[in-house]
Structure 1
Amino acid sequence: MSILTESGIGSMHICFYGAGSMAEAIARGLIGEELVAPGKISMLNRSNAERLGELHERYGVQTVLQGSTNDAYLKGADIIFLAMKPKDAAEAISAIAPLLSPNQLIVSVIAGLSISSLEKLLGSSQPIVRTMPNTSSTIGLGATGISYSDHVTPQQRLVTEVMFQSIGLNAVVEEALQDSVVGVSGSGPAYIYFVMEAMMKAAAELGLDDKTAKDLVVQTVLGAAQMVKQTGESPEELRRKVTSPNGTTQAAIEKMTELGLPEAIVKGMKRSSERAAEIGADIERSIG
């Protein structure tokens, strides 16, 4: 029996409450990997009919513009993705709580919102999955941290992991480590973009035109990531292989180390994780 058949996901109805870029990325993955038919996916938002029209036209998903209601989509869903903005989450989740039934799987992609907070807002023993995808999910190369409440069944775990595999890699972690996931992969793409910005600036100062600089930097980053992935060697091992004694790479690494680049990256990632915890605490206070 295949994992898709075992999960039963193809027969399920999935509702996205929130129709932003992350919800779109996940829906695109489900449809593109032929896990769920577009007609079994509904996408809701509070007022942006133009956005809903775009999503229906692009993917064939269902919205209120196709004649049903938000309440009907929520009640009829096997899986409900909570994908609204954090500032709107508490009010919106409390409002839909009376519509839900105990067997519906709730999947949150809301940064900082804990499982215990969701349980308070929902007021019931729903099976809840807390996730932290990143923006690379929009091209199917995401990295997602997944944590489960005690009420999630083995079959629901399987379904969850099948869904997130459609947009990249996932890692099941204890919920206490979700803030660490934010610091590593949630904010991670921006760190790489930041380094790429600096590399392109340096390339321009070294005399290369903008297009050439961008092409070289992009290919260099892509190639380096693929080398780590395909060879199975650690970044440290690969760096040593290309760092000849007294050569150009050693000169660059020594200067970057002298100026504190490794320490800055470590401290920055830790600060991202700390900020995730602060945002979570703010949400907890607003609910409490």
Structure 2
Amino acid sequence: MAMKWTERDIPEQRGRVAVVTGANTGLGFETARALAEHGATVVLAVRDVEKGRQAAARMSGDVTVQELDLTSLESIRVAAADLHGTHQKIDLLINNAGVMHSPKQTTRDGFELQFGTNHLGPFAFTGLVLDLLLPVPGSRVVTVSSFAHRMRAAIHFDDLQSERSYNRVAAYAQSKLANLLFTYELQRRLGSLSTTISVAAHPGMATTDLTRHTFAAMRVFAPLTSQNPEMGALATLRAATDPTVRGGQYYGPDGVGGLRGHPKVVKSSPGSHDRTVQQRLWTVSENLTGVKFPV
């Protein structure tokens, strides 16, 4: 039987620069902490700078904080410009930040909150910093999705911002499906000529602040089906650091239903591999954010 992958399997990260969004709590915190402990220079890209500083103080290693509010295209552009000023390269971009099952709200730019924060924000941020990754051998973009991408999931191009009807579970599923469509389309555009790869991961069912808007019944059963953030972060960490990872792969827990366990390559839904939808979503995302990718 194959060995179970753990934090101990993370290779030496000295000399690598990792940018982790939403890194002040939960999965993002554990991801950033582990990378810093293995020698990476880590940037916590967070909305609340003070909370980011408190998180950095709990980590060992070279950790700095960058303000980044994924609900604001202006903040995303400023953060990208700041990173260009402070770093000559990025080895790892980990799109971890997100919101889940939130009541109906919009971002600063008028996007439905879950679609805007979970997809359009990371899409724009990746596009604006990708030039810092492209020249770097072995660089990776890791985007955190969810097994929820299978639940009632579709990209509603006729009502992307849920203006006609809003269901918070369906809106979350749409945003997580979008994460995978983005991951696969980015990998296709990077192609075999680039040493930068695009991969995805999901944490299974992890007990984090993200679940604060979930239904009471889900919270009751969470202790039976979920795992702690350190375990939940392993899929992201493996996608980010395992030398055997290939572009376009998707990592998640190996347990029943993918809810918990150690990370392995897992399958995403057939819909996430629809190239027509991938390309259409990409074009729509470029138009909504005004960000064009250098690939």
Kindly name which structure, 1 or 2, has the bigger radius of gyration based on alpha carbons. 1
> TM-score range, shorter-chain basis?
0.3 to 0.5
More helix by share: 1
- TM-score, with normalisation over the residues of structure 2? 0.43
User: Higher relative contact order by CA 8 Å / sep ≥ 6: 1 or 2?
Assistant: 2
- TM-score, with normalisation over the residues of structure 1? 0.44
